[in-house]
Amino acid sequence: MNDERPFYQHHVFFCLNEREGKDARPSCAKCGAEGAQKHAKKRIKALGLNGPGKVRINKSGCLDRCEEGPVLVVYPEGTWYTYVDNADIDDIIDTHLVGGKVVERLKI
């Protein structure tokens, strides 16, 4: 049986790339990305939104948009976001993942 629906309703990838060296390009890991990813994963679980058919929060290597970062991307929509703190992550969760609307102020 071929099911056309994606395995997850939303699959969220947080860039956790860290570049080293004084001349290195900016990197998401140096902007609190790991803490934001952990916060999102914990919040999604607390809301009962994790698991197949629901939401998956993943770590990612470089997504090549670090100058705009930190960044995350939500699939299957392909919506890219930047964020500053956990309040921004909560807004993405509440507005986009739960409410189905893009958070325009954070979209890149």
**pLDDT for 27 beyond 50:** yes
pTM over 0.75: yes
Give burial (CB, 10 Å; 0-12/13-18/19+) of 12: buried
Pair 52, 94: CB distance under 8 Å: no
**pLDDT for 78 beyond 50:** yes
Architecture of domain 10-106: 3-Layer(aba) Sandwich (3.40)
Among candidates 70, 81, 57, which has minimal Cα distance to 18? Answer: 70
Among candidates 29, 34, 36, 39, which has minimal Cα distance to 66? Answer: 29
- Taking residues 7-16, what's their average pLDDT? 96
**pLDDT for 108 beyond 50:** yes
**pLDDT for 66 beyond 90:** no
Q: Quick one: CA torsion of 77, 37, 106, 84, rounded to 10 degrees? A: -170
